[in-house]
Structure 1
Amino acid sequence: MGTLRDLQFALQLKIEELRQRDTLIDELELELDTKDELIRRLQEELDRYRTTVSLPGPSVVSAAASAQIEDKQRAARQTVISEPFIPDAATLAMGSHKSCDKNQKSSRLIKAAFLKNDLLNLNEEEVRAIAACMYHTTINQGCFVLQEGSIGDRAYVLEEGRLDVTKDGQKMRSVEPGDMFGELALLYDCTQTYSVSAQTDSKLWVIDRKSYQTVLMQCGLSHQAHSVELLRGLSFLQSMPEDVIMKLSDHMKECNYTDGSYIIRQGDTGDTFYIISKGQVTVTEKKPGREESIVLSELCERQWFGEKALWGDDIRTVNVIAVGEVTCLIIDRETFKDIIDGLVSDSCEEVQKSNASKIKPDEDPFLVSSTLSDFQIIDTLEVGEFGHIDLVQLKSNIKHIFAMRVLAKKLILHNSQREHIRREGRILMEAYSPFIVRLYKVFWDVEHLYFLTEACLGGDLSDLLKDKGNLDEYCTRFYTACVVEALAFLHCRGVVYRDVKPENVILDEHGYAKLIGSRCMKKVEVGKRTWTFCGTVGYMAPEIILNKGHSISADLWSLGVFVFELLSGGLPFDDCDQMKIPTTTIHGIDRIEFPEIISKDACALIHTLCRSNPLERLGSSRNGAKDIQKHEWFEGFNWDRLCNKTIPPPVIPKVQYPLESSACALYGEGSVKQCMNWDDF
């Protein structure tokens, strides 16, 4: 007979199972609502064109099979956006103090499991903090820990017992003590692709996603705060503004030295400056004619040395030797000068940016006073996760064609995407770039949001790739240049896009490429990071996967993957098992074998964009996109002509605009308002 604790755990499992079933029912009801909406719109289309539509032939079965395969491929490339993770100071403090008692043996087992995990790739400090938060649970023989098809948010380390992993009823492997499983759920709401059941009574250690993310964020912010504090203690940086200190902090590297190591050797050339983060060093000097060095001083935590190297003195005049274990934060002269010299140019760019943001393109007079009832629906272009996109025209001037993105509030709120939609709307309303799809107005009623955008009917680049297999260098260079201009516009305003991929790059009627709006867009302050797991698996930068905090440099990684896919027709980080793609990404671009079809210069560009260290990526310095534009792969490319749209595009889409229609549908006449304040949603 089981103990009271075992019965309580069994009850918890049943409650969790019921909760998951309720969640599944809610999701199915929402999916049914979406399908009903799709059926309604398709019925309208059928009624409108019934007289001209011919019946399908015998090829419909094979076409349906092809469509099913295509749906699976698209599903694998869907954008993943976890719930925004913005814990307040109280939550972070709670995470730093949360601890569950465990003996040394258990602690060692948990730490070993995390340190050998390829996906999470944690350092020892992070592992210690996470291990402290893990709590203990037991599971009886025959019970499930994970069930295939469910949504999980916990990872487990087995301490005692034995578990079996099964998929579609077939055993895949056993879980032994010291093994970890379920770790992908720590990153986002993933559907479990396997089941895990207990073959014997078992003891496990558990951590949930919120605790995991809180611990990692607390570690990251603590490390950054310590670095900033050390920099503020330097007398020669006292007059520097906050954003410069934050930039310097981001570029400081941590180096460890063992007892007796020479950190600096007298007579050597050097360009590195050091701040002692932990430990103590001895400073010695060897005078001419003397055999032994004399001790000049002892330096400890928060003190520094080597500052002359920042101003151009290359020759080291003293020795600096580690006493015991020493940790230093270091920065080289070139990086330091790049940040300091950028003070003047950055401020000038800030003024230019401020002025540019006030210059709006000429507003279409027909749009100034338009309301939702002024538009009539020509066709449904696409059905998406939260609604659909209509092709619309002004009733008063049918030559004015637009796209109307109709989003169901119920679906947005159920999927915790409210904040993401608000951010996207705010950013797009101020995005006056010829390389970003323009958002003109937003309307809303009780059930829906209506985003009125420009209509770009040339298809997206994934369609072009599907037709051609891969693109030649001329095409790829042109479309990449368009994306670079779009990212440069966003990055200049502190906006990270986080979802660069062919599906999000569409062509206008002239053949020029534009980035579409994305829920992944977010404004990030200078020197700050954001922590939400966001993007498309295969395109995500390592720092997003590892929950290290990320900024605009994450887009540079995705840009490199984008170039690779356009040129080769495939992704560099890909696998039939979706769970292996994040691990492959973390291992980096250097392990990837490039196909011969990608030229030497293109390979070099991709490698410099996809460097594992975000600060080393091409375009991450103060020159930004200019460094990308000057790369050898773009040699001879005329960026001014691109911005003036005088370069002939490689592909000019065949777009037929309907000029008139007597069967256009209209939007409801209910209580519709124009969205003037995003806080209202």
Structure 2
Amino acid sequence: MNRHDVPPELTNLLMEFTVSVLVERPEDILAYAAKYFTNLHEQRSASTNGGSQQNVENDEAIYSDEDEPEPPPPTRFNRRKSVFAEHYDPAEDEDDEAHRIIHPKSDEQREILAMAVKNILLFRSLDASQMQDVLDAMFERRVVPNEIVIQQGDDGDYFYVIQSGTYNIFVRNPTTGDNMNVGKYENHGSFGELALLYNQPRAATIQATTDGSLWAMNRQTFRRIVLKSAHKKRVVYEKLLESVPMLSSLNAYERMNLCDALMPKEFKEGDCIIKQGDSADGMYFLEDGTVSIRVRSEGSEEEKEISRFTNGTYFGELSLITHKPRAASVYACSDVKTAFLDVEAFERLLGNCVEIMKRNITHYEEQLVAILGSTNISDLR
């Protein structure tokens, strides 16, 4: 069986169940699984039959993926109580400018928001255009002390990025029903993504303890940007990796994991991508453009080009294999798009390919002998 034989619904179900187990930590996982899937089946049956619509608060309307709700008033956030989050298949979602949500912001607000979201893990794989969509789609919500931002057990409605303020995190004790304070956010961070990603109820309650400001994005927009971008990234990177002979030893599952670990990095013509002598932080797969590989012999400031790489090739792996500093510099000869694999992911995912990479070291050394008269890459450190 290859991965294309695995129904997407199975992957989603197992992911959702795993998250639920990690949140609830049941003593008897088998009994918990039986109850979990029974309740899930009843929930979906009720939703399919229209029963779930009876529980919607009177002042809210059920909206489809095609109907983006208007942002709520600044003084009031409606919260849906028991509408099971809709299924979303990024492969079936066509790009449509009509779906794009734009909340106007000043240049100062955009700059503040960009700083707030730049280190959020969920957004690391987004390209520049997708990040602009994120900035456009978020709107500001101000909170006051003791205000409940999200309530454990509610359906996911919004994802939040903190601009300012302090927020306590409470989780309900399943035995006593009491809320336990398990942590807090202070002036930075984000929350609310798990319920949106995995169609699960809120796993915790978040309560403001001070005046504060949040940036919010609604469920449909969040899923469309984050999930669709992840899907598009995987499709692009699968095609890229299929063109790399070294990776033919990976099975489909390993190649899929590698796609998910890659991060886009773009460079302008003339940029130095790797500097000879620096410590290695990862390797690069060249998606588009041309790069120049240059080395500098000891005691010389002049760099000599030993090779050029173009689409479908990779570079930067040598230092990861030898555990030595970068043996050459790499420059962009044009605008370049790469897929970057950090050192931790390299060691975790490419163990099967290291022996193949080691064979290429001989080829590198032959090039260096011809150009510089050196017989060992390590001489160039």
TM-score, normalised with respect to structure 1: 0.27
Larger Rg: 1
TM-score with structure 2 setting the length: 0.42
Q: Which has the higher contact order (CA 8 A, sep 6+)?
A: 2
